[in-house]
Amino acid sequence: MFDDGKDDILIWVDENDNITGYGPKMETHEIDQLHRAFSAFIYDEQMKELLLQRRADGKYHSGGKWSNTCCSHPRQGEELEDAVPLRIRKELGFDIPEGTPVEHKGSFIYRADLGGIFEHEYDHVFVIRTDKDKIPLDRFDRNEISDLKWVATDIIDEELKTDPDKYSAWFARAYLLSRAE
């Protein structure tokens, strides 16, 4: 599997996304430190289907929950725009097709207590629209992801109303931002 060579040192930020320091990934989540993160959404060209991942059961939090295509963090010394394709390659096992725009849709702060582990993130949302036939679904890192599938957005919309707990804590808010015009 691809190794990006980055240590798991995350970027701590304030409420305006200004860097305030750095810390190891697990410590950052244990001490409830606000840090920079991103949520990438890969849609088909018409934005009618979204590539969802089911987080691996062994993840340190939210194992078994469905979430956006790639959820991760830029590391110390890494630009946010560079982190998105790197983590997609590392976690999903493919490159974003050449020439495909990666659109920054905005950001938000959220906090969730997940049983002694805290998601306290300044989350940047990115949207990638592509020909879904160019995306392999069998190369993902099984330590990170247990399943990967295309799901129609109308099904996601309905499930967020009827069964929101099947999704990660940040998913609904990030998903709405990814769909905003």
Sign for the CA dihedral angle at 41, 45, 47, 52 comes to negative
Is 111 in contact with 26 (CB distance < 8 Å)?
no
Going by C-alpha positions, the residue among 45, 40, 49, 46 that lies closest to residue 150 is 49
Going by C-alpha positions, the residue among 36, 35, 27 that lies closest to residue 117 is 27
Q: What's the start-to-end Cα distance of the chain, in Å?
A: 36
Q: Alpha carbon 41 to chain centroid distance?
A: 7
pLDDT for 98 equals: 86
Q: How many beta carbons lie within 10 A of that of residue 30, not counting itself?
A: 14
pLDDT for 169 equals: 87
pLDDT for 44 equals: 96
CATH of domain 9-179: 3.90.79.10
Domain limits of the chain? 9-179
pLDDT (tens, 9 = 90+) of the chain, 181 residues, equals: 333 444 689 999 999 999 999 999 989 999 999 999 999 999 999 999 999 999 887 776 676 889 999 999 999 999 999 999 999 999 999 999 888 999 999 999 999 888 888 899 999 999 999 999 989 999 999 988 999 999 999 999 999 999 999 999 899 999 999 999 7
Structure tokens at 3: 């190794």
Distances (CA, A) of 148 to 76, 101, 107, 113, 181: 28, 22, 24, 26, 26
Distances (CA, A) of 107 to 45, 130, 162, 177: 22, 22, 26, 8
pTM (2 d.p.): 0.92
Give me the half-sphere count of Cα atoms (radius 13 Å) on the Cβ side of residue 160.
18
Please enumerate in sequence order all residues whose Cβ is within 8 A of that of 104, keeping only pairs 6 or more positions apart, or say none: 81, 124, 125, 126
Active site residues: 71, 121
